[in-house]
Structure 1
Amino acid sequence: MRSEALARRTAMGDATRASASEAASRHALAALGDVRARTVALFAPFRDEIDTFPLASLLRAAGANVALPVIVGRDQPLLFRLWRADDPLAPEGAYAIPTSAPDAPEVIPDDLIVPLAVFDRVGARIGYGAGYYDRTLSLLRSRKQVRAFGLAFACQETAAIPAEPHDEPLDGMITEAGFLSFGGLHAHSLPR
């Protein structure tokens, strides 16, 4: 499932991905609602992932604090550092994923925008195989109420993902087609 969805994502082409990223960013802001003084954790786009930079700009303009994840170590939850608009990003870790500077303040997010390879319409996702977001969401949700929204292209959808005991469900899914809620949030739904 993962390789098929990622092949569909790659086949979109740069221009289509850029346009879809802009549309998804507008849907994400609407789905999140009032973000003033909330901390929203994004991910820096890696390879041909959906571009989160347009969403970062919208969130900052709406009064949110924006954070990025940091991989601390294998089998450990992520930590999050504040990412201000003028902060340069630098590749870090084994995957060379762009992150905030090491001296950026650590924060605990209120909302997480989660990367993924594949999703379905009941809140299941397949990531990239290391389990970082499942561990992180489990820890955060044991401490406070945290919302988690998948952000990807519509072509990454599949009919059904077999759930595993460690899988943390999403509260909603955002694509260029709209927002699909998996729990009592009010927003536009993806077409069926």
Structure 2
Amino acid sequence: MSGSSSKAELRAIALAKRDALSDEQRAAAAEAIARRGLPFEIASGMIVSGYSPIRSEIDPAPLMRRLAEQGAKLALPAVLARGKSLAFRAWSPDDRLMLGPLGILEPSPAAAEAVPDIMLVPLAAFDPLGHRIGYGAGHYDYTLAHLRKMKAITAVGIGFSAQQIKAVPALPHDVALDYVLTEKKVFDFRS
């Protein structure tokens, strides 16, 4: 495969750029995204799923708090098993989280299950067509494909502008995002 990089190589390069950002840059980017909000109307009672940031991911909490103020109901994913759809559990910013099986913070199993209308999606890298590179487990691709059989879900990738790459080698099972929000720009891929 000369001349084109593999997803693994592209992931490594983008994550190295993301890791190089300072705590101040990360916090400022999260606040910039929260200030701008989502590029579409939030209807009261809409369910927005976020995520608990791992490694050097951008923190969606400031944006989620803003969306809650606009009337959204919040949820966070829970990993049930590899190769299975993520479950989403109701969450509000004051709820305590517990460590899930993959060491990621998630709501208690006692929290009500929810199917999001809008899914905030973490990413390792993204391209100008709305393709993302995740971490290779396929959780989000699988979950979006599965849940979209039930209802329309708007997938909004969140990342730093440093994570943009020229092109993601997309596979048929990869699910394209509807939007990507960075601290600098809103990408709209729906057209």
Which TM-score applies when normalising by structure 1? 0.92
Q: Which residue of 2 aligns with 1:45?
A: 53
Question: Percent of pairs identical after alignment?
Answer: 42
Distance 1:35 1:93 in 2: 33
Shift of 1:102: 1.4
Structure 1's unaligned 5+ residue stretches are: 185-192
Q: Could you tell me how far 1:173 is from its partner in structure 2?
A: 0.6
- 2:76 is aligned with 1:68: yes
Amino acid at match of 1:115: P
Measure how far apart 1:25 and its partner are: 2.0
> Gapped runs of 5+ residues in structure 2?
1-9
Structure-to-structure mapping, 1:121-136, within 5 angstroms: 121-136=128-143
Task: For 1:11 and 1:35, locate their aligned partners in 2 and report how far apart those are by CA, in whole Å.
Answer: 37
Q: Are residue 30 (structure 1) and residue 30 (structure 2) matched?
A: no
What SS is found at the alignment partner of 2:12? helix
Q: How does 1:97-116 map to 2 (within 5 A)?
A: 97-116=104-123
After superposition, the C-alpha distances for 1:67-112 in whole angstroms (9 at most, x for unaligned) are 0001110110101000012211122112x11101111100010010
Give 1:152's aligned amino acid.
G
Q: How many angstroms apart in 1 are the aligned matches of 2:113 and 2:168?
A: 33
Any residues of structure 2 matched to 1:141-152 within 5 Å, and which? 141-152=148-159
Structure 1 residues 103 and 36, CA gap change in structure 2 (3 angstroms): same
TM-score between the two structures when normalised by the length of structure 2: 0.92
State the distance in 2 between where 1:162 and 1:35 align: 35
Segments ≥4 residues shifted beyond 6 Å? none
Partner of 1:162 in structure 2?
Answer: 169
- Counterpart for residue 19 of structure 1: 28
1:88/1:75 CA distance change after superposition, 3 Å: same
